[in-house]
Amino acid sequence: MNIDRQMMEVDIACVGFGPATAGFLHTLSQAMTAEDGSVLLESKVMPGMPLQVVCYERADDIGFGVSGVVTRGKALRASLPDLDPAQIPMAAPVRDEQVLYLKDPLGKSRRSSGVRMLDRLFGLLGVKDHAVKLPYIPPFLCKKDGLVLSIGQFSQWIGNQLMGSGLVQVWPGMPVSEPLLEEDRVVGVRLTDQGVESDGTPGPGYMPGMDIRAALTVVGDGPVGPVGQKLDAHFGLPAGNHQDEWAGGMKVVVELPEDCTLQPGFVLHTLGYPEPEIFGFLYVYPDRVASLGIFVPSWLDSPVRSSYRLLQHWMQHPAIWKHLKGGTLRSWGAKSLQESGQRGEPVLAGDGFARIGEGSGSTNLLTGSGLDEAWATGVQLAEGVIELAKAGEPFSRTNLERAYLGRRRDSWVEKDARIAKCARDGFTRGMVPGLLGMALSGMSGGRFNVGGAFRRPWQRIPAFKDYFSGQLSAQEIDTIVEDCRQHGKPPFEPLMDKLGWPPIEYDGQLLISHQDALLLGGKVQAAHGFADHVRFVDPSACDDCESQICVAMCSGQAISASEGGGVPQFDREKCIHCGICMWNCTSGRDGDPLRSNVSFDAGSGGLHSAEN
Amino acid sequence: MSGGFHIVVCGSLVPDPLQTLEPMEGPTGPALKNEMMLPAVLDPWAGHALFEAAQLAKNVPDSKVWLVSLGPKAKLQQLMMSIAQKVSFELVAIDGSAGGFTDPFDVAATLADTIDKIEGLDRTRLLLFGGCASASRDSGVTMQMVAERLDIVDQFLAVDKLTVSSDGALEVLERIEAGQYQVSSCAGAPAMLGWATGSLPEPPNNPQVGMMNMRTVMPALQKAQAAEVGIGGLKYAAVELPKQRRETRVVKDTPAEEIAQEIVDWLKA
């Protein structure tokens, strides 16, 4: 099939519409024209017109499939001084913050001697509902005067204003497959081919993805974005940096029961259960709606981690369940979080490109804050771009390093990121060293911390027999694994059952099967004519895989075990594009140990809900 | 035939059918819970009409497509960013409710009045397209009423195929009862076609089409007039959620006979 690839020229092409790109476009659009409509920043591709700025977003609409968040809102308020949370659905000022240390009411979690010591220590503060309310929240964690937000609703709110200005165009449903590279210069992006079979071969209605050539490509496609990944593969990470730490965030939006007393703006953070390493959150929005969920980190060195089941056990902890019982699930979703922070920073600017947001390493892991930092990096880039455009200077590496990176390095984002850089290293050694490291870093302004033991995520997953040593016999494990292999089922559920974790009693409202969450609360949809975006690079590595952890951790049950073992099945229609499979794999890639055996590329579809 | 068609497609947004829709009593009457937060999609039947219109305009020189959309302006803007990438059209926007609690009579009057005022529209070349029904529960009567108000007497419902001969005559394949089709002919425009599913797949997203369309979409949204289409003049005696039990499973590669048998067993039980 010989169909020419089309090409279009714009001035600035953005990839991914999240908080960072929103901050970039908001700042830039305000400087493009004067109040009388005259052009201030003139386009080079359409002389006489303002800069031609387009943004391509993979999801079917802007704001689909992101998460609830609590933020200090420092950068947001600087950009939007009249920001009124009442104008944004599912937003409220922070009114009350609590941190709960959750003890294990079932006695089934793996608690090291250090964690058992913590149990006893915190227990001295008074236990209620198998939980201890910490009397003090360190200042670095506080979000006083901040906001609770649904990033989905915030994105739609700001996106509508941006599109309404007519100055920038944000196109949803349009995945970008790769940067257009000419040696080390990025000259635009290539959109994903449409009308192809699942393996990418042209099918009926084949349309090669268009080349969008731009003087500047702004990469804000998040931690698992294909353009960011390909830039990393081309340029490598700066010396000393790595992206070894990840977390899978899984959350639900719940309509709280009528008798729930939690007020809008209530913020709850938990640690300690269902495994000590799992952190939880609950943010209350107006109208008795809450966003809640857990983070499953890559340093939870368990081969049976399954976010969905762990989330259900967390929700049923007595200290949480007392708020939720009688509520109704409204929405559900998941995403990957890049947890290396500044240490995971890629090459931030080069000839023709700049990176912003979470994929640029902006998330602050000490303060647990990402939205504000992401927005700030977008604003900083926009200010740099305005400076260069006004001066008629090209978007070269040198100029972007001065105009964008200079601003970023001089800002509070950088200052806070330096303090946070090593704050979480201790978690790579265990829960207690991790907490100690955070406290040391936070209290000393980053001068002291607990050193880490870094390994690639795929190097952290132990064999079943090692992990269950002393709990299950080798024979018990072999029997379960072999039975699951024959029946094409992953072994994590039977293994958790065998350890004594109680089955989830579905109530049809809040506790529903993973499949029902996908259908009722997740609302997943995939457009036809796109290729599979998840591939297992070396099939033999899957043949040898015991844990099939990619199946266990797949948020949308899009990856399923094959009968008899071997390469798992991938069902594109169920994928929510969280990218968790990419770092939850037990094998490194041949010749490229920085990456796992799962390839996660550009694809269409995902969640159809902006409530998250 | 001399000159192409002037094709006006009536179509607007509906809440994404993947969502759970819950009617409630709002301050101005019945509404859907969290309506402005629900993702919106182009009404599926109207979508088929739009794609058929675009294809027809491509094949018949000198034709043009207008899309007349009645819905909340902010949601229309959002919707346009999705569908404006698919086919070329000129938007005519009307700012009003599209949540399903509207009166087809009012909707038809508003649409007909708006179409009547479209600048440059040649009513002798007019093909009025729309969905044969709407996912927003219009009970399938709106398009006929629009046609009546525009003095269009040749009306076809549940259309799956339209063939245009060189002299501009139309041959229309309509669905009728019991799985039968009816083939009708008429001399040409003006005519109204309420589309069923048609035969075209959803076109891929094309950034160039989107860029072209956006030159007219944003001005159209800015000019959108407000319209009362039910709220206030209409009184609902009661609105409630159907008492249905939803049982959902995903099955693949299951023979049709097996699925049919399961449904029969379920009904018998």
H helix intervals, A332-421: 371-391, 397-400, 406-409, 412-420
pLDDT at A587 over 70: yes
pLDDT of B250:
65
Mean pLDDT, residues A494-498: 93
pLDDT at B137 over 70: no
**Interior angle at CA A262, CA A260 and CA A266, nearest 5:** 155
- Number of H helices and E strands in chain A, helices first, is 19, 28
Question: pLDDT digit string (tens) for A78-97?
Answer: 999 999 999 999 999 999 99
Question: pLDDT digit string (tens) for A157-187?
Answer: 999 999 988 899 999 999 999 999 999 999 9
Among A203, A165, A235, A202, which residue's Cα sits nearest to residue A22? A165
**Which one has a higher pLDDT value, A215 or A573?**
A215
pLDDT at B248 over 80: no
Domain positions in chain A are 8-79+152-242+343-419, 92-144+244-341, 458-607
Question: pLDDT digit string (tens) for A28-60?
Answer: 999 999 999 899 999 999 999 999 999 999 999
Residue A61 and residue B39: Cβ atoms within 8 Å?
A: yes
Q: Which of residues 246-285 of A touch B (CB under 8 A)?
A: none
Inter-axis angle of helices B104-116 and B142-149, nearest 10: 40
pLDDT of A547:
86
Residue B81 and residue A163: Cβ atoms within 8 Å?
A: yes
pLDDT of A611:
81
The answer to whether A538 touches A587, Cβ cutoff 8 Å, is: yes
The answer to whether A58 touches A176, Cβ cutoff 8 Å, is: yes
Whole-prediction pTM: 0.93
Question: Which chain B positions have a beta carbon within 8 Å of A520's beta carbon?
Answer: 20, 246, 248
The answer to whether A76 touches A372, Cβ cutoff 8 Å, is: yes
Q: Is A528 an interface residue toward B (CB < 8 Å)?
A: yes
pLDDT at B26 over 80: no
CA distance A231 to B110: 52
Question: Which chain A positions have a beta carbon within 8 Å of B34's beta carbon?
Answer: 89, 611
Nearest to A60 among B82, B207, B210 (CB): B82
CA distance B207 to A212: 9
Question: pLDDT digit string (tens) for A9-19?
Answer: 999 999 999 99
Among A67, A80, A124, which residue's Cα sits nearest to residue A285? A67
pLDDT of B138:
63
Residue B207 and residue A212: Cβ atoms within 8 Å?
A: yes
CA distance A51 to A168: 9
Inter-chain contacts counted by CB atoms under 8 A, chains A and B: 97
The answer to whether B190 touches B127, Cβ cutoff 8 Å, is: yes
The answer to whether B161 touches B80, Cβ cutoff 8 Å, is: no
Residue A160 and residue B214: Cβ atoms within 8 Å?
A: no
The answer to whether A134 touches A101, Cβ cutoff 8 Å, is: yes
CATH class of A92-144+244-341: alpha beta
pLDDT of B231:
62
| pLDDT level of residue B27 (50, 70, 90 thresholds) | confident
Among A52-56, A442-446, B262-266, the minimum mean pLDDT is found in B262-266
Assign a CATH topology to domain A8-79+152-242+343-419: FAD/NAD(P)-binding domain (3.50.50)
Question: pLDDT digit string (tens) for A335-348?
Answer: 999 999 999 999 99
> Do the two domains A8-79+152-242+343-419 and A92-144+244-341 of this chain adopt the same fold?
no
Distance (Å) from the alpha carbon of A172 to chain B's nearest alpha carbon: 6
pLDDT at A292 over 70: yes
| pLDDT level of residue B31 (50, 70, 90 thresholds) | confident
Tracing tokens 């390839």 back to the chain, one arrives at A599
State percent of chain A over pLDDT 90.
85
Q: Output the CA–CA distances (angstroms, integers) from residue A312 to A44, A251, A503, in the order listed.
A: 54, 10, 10
CA distance A77 to A115: 40
CA distance A132 to A125: 7
Mean pLDDT, residues A568-592: 92
Question: pLDDT digit string (tens) for A518-574?
Answer: 887 878 888 889 999 999 999 999 988 888 899 999 999 999 998 888 899 999 999
Domain positions in chain B are 6-226
Q: Name the β-bridge partners of A150.
A: A68
pLDDT of B247:
64
CA distance A21 to A378: 6
Question: Which chain B positions have a beta carbon within 8 Å of A172's beta carbon?
Answer: 81-82
Structure tokens at B42: 């182009």
CATH code for B6-226? 3.40.50.620
Q: Which of residues 88-107 of A touch B (CB under 8 A)?
A: 89-90
* Strand order across the A328-338 sheet: A131-133, A96-102, A266-271, A279-285, A289-297, A246-255, A328-338
What's chain A's average pLDDT? 94
Residue A163 and residue B77: Cβ atoms within 8 Å?
A: yes
DSSP A486-516: HHT--SHHHHHHHHTPPPP---SSSS--HHH
Q: Considering only alpha carbons, which residue of chain B is nearest residue A607?
A: B18
Q: Is A53 an interface residue toward B (CB < 8 Å)?
A: no
H helix intervals, A187-238: 226-235
Question: pLDDT digit string (tens) for A301-335?
Answer: 999 889 999 999 999 999 999 999 999 999 999 99
The answer to whether A520 touches A531, Cβ cutoff 8 Å, is: no
Among A503, A598, A612, A529, which residue's Cα sits nearest to residue A558? A598
Structure tokens at A238: 């700066």
pLDDT of A553:
94
Among A319, A217, A277, which residue's Cα sits nearest to residue A431? A277
Question: pLDDT digit string (tens) for B40-71?
Answer: 889 999 999 999 999 999 999 999 999 999 99
